C-alpha cells in the first residue's frame, strides 16, 4: 500500500520534479559560474577576503529557489486532491488517514530534500576546490535556512490546500507567510546558526496543522 | 433480515438551516435502496454521513454494525464509494489507476475492471482527464466492481451521463448486485433510472422522510385521482390539509390529487364534501409521477 501511495504522488509530481531539477541546477550553476569568474579574474584569495570582510557568500541568488520549489511541489500534490473534493477518495481507502497524509507529505519532502541535496552536493564539489573548509562550511551553513524555508513553504501550502474552509485558508496563509518569513529574514552569513533546531521544530508543527485540516475535512467542515 | 446500514435519529444543520431531524432508516442485506428527494433535501448530506465525511449533529450511523465515525480502516475494504460526478484521479490513466487501487483491496478483481474498459474506445495510456464524462463514469464503475465490496454507496450516479451510458451503468450495476447479493445505497436525479434499478426507495422532503417502502408496493398503492368539475378550485381548497391527500392541484376545470388510500376510502373522504365522486378517475403511476405526487412540483 505504501508503494501505491508513493506511486500516486510520483505521478502527480514527476513533471514538476523535472522542472525543479532543471531550474535549481541552472540557478546553482549560474551562482558557481559567478564565483568562478571572480576566481579567474582576481584569484582565490580575493574571493576568501570578500567572503570574510563583506559578509557575503556569493550564492545569494539561490536564496528563494528552495521556497519556489516547496510551493511548486505542494501545489502539484495537493491542489489535485482538493479539486472536486477528491481527498474523499483518498480518505475512503482502507488505510489509516493520518498515516496516509503523512505518507503523502513525506513523499513530497523527500523529493524536495533530494533536489536540495543534489544542489548542495554540486556546490560542495566546486567550492571545495576554491575555498578552505571553514569558508566552505560558512557558505553552505548560510544556505541551510533557505532550504529549510523551502520545506516550511511546502508545509504551509499543503496546509492551505488541505484546509476545507476559506476563512481558515486565509488565516493559514497569513500565519504561513509570517512563519516562512522567519527563514529568510536575515541576510547575514550564519545568522541562524543557533536557532536551526528551533526552525526544525517550527517545520514539524506546520505538518501537524496540515493533519488538523484533514481532520476538519473529514468532520465535514465547509463554507 | 440483516441490516447492512442502520441510521438512527440523524439530525443535521448547515449553520442554522435544518437539513433533517430524527431521520432513521435501515438498508437490509442484498437490497438496492434509492434515496430520492428534490435538490437541497439532504441526499448528498446523507451520503457524506454514510461515507464518514460528515459528522451529524445528532444520531448515529452503523455500517456492518460498526459506527462509521469510529470505523476501522480495514472495514472500508467492503464499502465501494462513488462520489457525485464520478470523481476519480484524473491525472492517472486507466492502467495506473487500476494498479493504484489494487494495492488496497485483497479481493481485487482486475478482470472485471478490464472487461468494462475494453468496451470503451480509449487508448491504454489515455489520461482520465481527457475522457468524456461517460467514459469516466465507466472507469469509476469498473474500479468499484473490481473492488468487489459488499456495500456500494453511489451519489448521483447518473449525473452528466447520456442515455446510453446511463443504461450501461445500470445494467452492469444491477447484474453485479443481483448475481452476488450486494447491497446498494444510491441517489440519482433521474428517477426513471431508479425505477429500473432499485428494490426499495426512500422519498425525502425538506427535513423528513415522506415514505420508505419497496418500489413495487409504492407503485401499486400510491395513486393519482382526477375529477372534472366547474368548482375544482373550491374542492381543492377543501382537500388541502387532509392527511391522506397529497398535493391537490387544479388544471383548468380538473382537480388532481394523490393518495395511498384506495378508491373506496377516497370516496368516503369526498362524500361529505358533496364532490361528484362518480366522475372520479384513479390511476397508478410510474416512479417519477409518484415522486412528483408525493413531493409536489415546487
In whole angstroms, what is the distance from residue B101 CA to residue B117 CA?
15
Q: Is the pLDDT of residue B289 over 80?
A: yes
Q: How big is the CA angle at B261 (ends B257 and B262), to the nearest 5 degrees?
A: 100
Cβ contacts of B89 on chain A, cutoff 8 Å: 8, 80, 86, 89
Given CB atoms, is A217 within the 8 Å cutoff of chain B?
yes
Residue B297: predicted pLDDT = 66
Q: Is the pLDDT of residue A54 over 90?
A: no
Q: What would the mean pLDDT of A16-23 be, rounded to a whole number? A: 94
Q: A89 and B90 in contact by Cβ < 8 A?
A: no
Residue B8: predicted pLDDT = 92
Given CB atoms, is A218 within the 8 Å cutoff of chain B?
yes
User: What are the angstrom distances between the C-alpha of A31 and each of A19, A25, A65?
Assistant: 18, 10, 12
B297 exposed, middle or buried (CB, 10 Å; 0-12, 13-18, 19+)?
A: exposed
In whole angstroms, what is the distance from residue A165 CA to residue A217 CA?
9
Residue B298: predicted pLDDT = 64
Domains and CATH numbers, chain B: 3-214 (3.40.50.300), 222-295 (3.30.70)
Q: Is the pLDDT of residue A110 over 90?
A: yes
Cβ contacts of A95 on chain B, cutoff 8 Å: 73, 104
Domain spans of chain A, in order of start: 2-218
Q: A211 to chain B, minimum CA–CA distance in Å?
A: 15
Q: A204 to chain B, minimum CA–CA distance in Å?
A: 26
Phi, psi of B127 (to 5 degrees): -70, 150
pLDDT grade for B244, boundaries at 50, 70 and 90: confident
Q: Is the pLDDT of residue B102 over 70?
A: yes
Mean pLDDT, all residues of chain A: 91
Q: A89 and B87 in contact by Cβ < 8 A?
A: yes
Residue A117: predicted pLDDT = 95
pLDDT grade for B53, boundaries at 50, 70 and 90: confident
Partners of B25 in beta bridges:
B7
Residue A223: predicted pLDDT = 75
Q: B55 to chain A, minimum CA–CA distance in Å?
A: 5
User: What are the angstrom distances between the C-alpha of B181 and each of A45, A172, B178?
Assistant: 82, 47, 5
Give the pLDDT confidence of B152-201 residue by residue, as tens digits: 999 888 887 788 888 888 888 898 889 989 999 998 878 888 888 899 99
Q: What grid cell was written down for A113?
A: 530534500
Residues of chain A with pLDDT > 90, as a percent, come to 70
Given CB atoms, is A220 within the 8 Å cutoff of chain B?
yes
Using CB atoms and an 8 Å cut-off, which of residues 96-155 of chain A contact chain B? 96-97
Q: Is the pLDDT of residue A174 over 70?
A: yes
Residue A119: predicted pLDDT = 95
Q: Is the pLDDT of residue B74 over 90?
A: no
When CB atoms are compared, the residue of A11, A86, A220 closest to B54 is A220
Instruction: Give the closest residue to B47 by CA, choosing from B25, B66, B65.
Output: B25
Q: N- to C-terminal Cα distance for chain A?
A: 33
Q: What would the mean pLDDT of B133-141 be, rounded to a whole number? A: 87
Closest-CA residue in chain B for A217? B53
In whole angstroms, what is the distance from residue B202 CA to residue A112 CA?
51
Instruction: Give the closest residue to A84 by CA, choosing from B85, B92, B137.
Output: B85
Q: ipTM for the complex? A: 0.86
Residue A70: predicted pLDDT = 96
Q: What would the mean pLDDT of A135-148 be, rounded to a whole number? A: 92
Q: What would the mean pLDDT of B122-142 be, rounded to a whole number? A: 87
Q: A12 to chain B, minimum CA–CA distance in Å?
A: 7
Closest-CA residue in chain B for A84? B87
Q: A94 and B74 in contact by Cβ < 8 A?
A: yes
Whether A11 contacts B127, CB under 8 Å? no
Given CB atoms, is A221 within the 8 Å cutoff of chain B?
no
Q: Is the pLDDT of residue B72 over 70?
A: yes
Q: B87 and A4 in contact by Cβ < 8 A?
A: no
pLDDT grade for B252, boundaries at 50, 70 and 90: confident
In whole angstroms, what is the distance from residue B293 CA to residue B94 CA?
43
β-strand pairing of B183-187 with B32-37: parallel
Q: What would the mean pLDDT of A122-147 be, rounded to a whole number? A: 91
Whether B66 contacts B75, CB under 8 Å? yes
Length of chain A (residues): 223
Lowest-confidence segment of A43-57, B94-108, B264-278 by average pLDDT: B264-278
Amino acid at each position: 500500500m505504501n508503494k501505491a501511495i508513493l506511486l500516486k504522488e510520483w505521478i502527480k509530481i514527476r513533471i514538476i520534479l523535472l522542472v525543479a531539477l532543471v531550474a535549481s541546477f541552472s540557478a546553482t550553476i549560474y551562482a558557481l559560474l559567478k564565483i568562478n569568474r571572480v576566481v579567474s579574474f582576481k584569484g582565490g584569495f580575493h574571493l576568501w577576503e570578500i567572503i570574510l570582510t563583506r559578509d557575503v557568500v556569493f550564492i545569494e541568488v539561490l536564496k528563494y529557489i528552495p521556497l519556489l520549489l516547496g510551493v511548486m511541489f505542494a501545489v502539484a500534490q495537493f491542489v489535485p486532491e482538493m479539486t472536486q473534493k477528491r481527498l474523499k477518495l483518498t480518505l475512503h481507502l482502507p488505510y489509516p488517514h493520518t498515516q496516509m497524509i503523512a505518507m503523502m507529505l513525506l513523499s513530497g519532502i523527500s523529493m524536495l530534500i533530494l533536489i536540495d541535496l543534489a544542489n548542495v552536493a554540486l556546490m560542495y564539489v566546486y567550492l571545495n576546490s576554491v575555498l578552505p573548509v571553514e569558508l566552505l562550511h560558512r557558505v553552505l551553513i548560510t544556505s541551510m535556512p533557505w532550504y529549510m524555508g523551502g520545506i516550511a513553504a511546502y508545509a504551509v501550502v499543503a496546509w492551505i490546500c488541505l484546509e476545507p474552509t476559506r476563512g481558515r485558508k486565509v488565516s493559514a496563509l497569513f500565519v504561513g507567510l509570517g512563519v516562512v518569513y522567519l527563514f529568510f529574514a536575515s541576510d547575514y552569513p550564519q545568522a541562524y546558526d543557533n536557532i536551526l533546531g528551533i526552525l526544525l521544530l517550527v517545520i514539524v508543527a506546520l505538518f501537524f496543522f496540515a493533519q488538523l485540516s484533514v481532520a476538519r475535512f473529514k468532520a465535514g467542515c465547509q463554507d | 433480515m440483516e441490516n447492512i446500514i442502520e441510521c438512527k435519529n440523524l439530525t443535521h444543520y448547515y449553520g442554522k438551516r435544518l437539513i433533517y431531524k430524527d431521520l432513521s432508516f435501515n438498508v437490509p442485506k442484498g437490497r438496492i435502496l434509492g434515496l430520492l428527494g428534490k435538490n437541497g433535501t439532504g441526499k448528498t448530506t446523507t451520503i457524506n454521513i454514510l461515507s464518514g465525511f460528515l459528522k451529524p449533529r445528532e444520531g448515529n450511523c452503523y455500517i456492518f454494525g460498526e459506527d462509521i465515525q469510529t470505523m476501522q480502516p480495514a472495514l472500508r475494504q467492503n464499502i465501494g464509494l462513488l462520489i457525485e460526478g464520478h470523481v476519480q484521479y484524473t491525472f492517472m490513466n486507466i492502467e495506473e489507476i487500476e494498479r493504484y487501487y489494487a494495492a488496497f483491496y485483497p479481493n481485487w478483481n482486475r478482470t472485471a475492471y478490464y472487461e468494462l474498459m475494453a468496451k470503451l474506445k480509449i487508448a491504454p495510456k489515455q489520461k482520465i482527464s481527457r475522457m468524456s464524462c461517460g467514459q469516466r463514469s465507466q472507469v469509476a464503475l469498473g474500479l468499484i466492481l473490481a473492488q468487489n465490496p459488499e456495500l456500494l454507496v453511489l451519489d448521483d450516479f447518473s449525473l452528466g451521463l447520456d442515455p446510453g451510458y446511463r443504461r450501461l451503468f445500470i445494467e452492469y450495476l444491477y447484474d453485479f448486485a443481483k448475481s452476488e447479493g450486494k447491497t446498494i445505497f444510491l441517489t440519482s436525479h433521474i428517477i426513471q433510472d431508479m425505477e429500473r434499478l432499485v428494490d426499495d426507495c426512500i422519498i425525502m422532503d425538506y427535513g423528513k422522510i415522506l415514505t420508505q417502502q419497496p418500489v413495487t408496493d409504492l407503485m401499486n398503492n400510491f395513486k393519482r385521482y382526477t375529477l372534472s368539475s366547474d368548482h375544482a378550485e373550491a374542492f381543492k381548497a377543501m382537500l388541502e390539509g387532509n392527511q391522506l391527500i397529497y398535493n391537490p392541484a387544479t388544471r383548468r376545470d380538473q382537480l388532481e390529487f394523490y393518495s395511498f388510500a384506495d378508491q373506496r376510502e377516497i370516496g368516503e373522504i369526498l362524500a361529505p364534501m358533496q364532490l361528484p365522486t362518480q366522475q372520479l378517475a384513479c390511476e397508478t403511476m410510474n416512479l417519477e409521477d409518484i415522486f412528483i405526487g408525493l413531493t409536489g412540483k415546487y
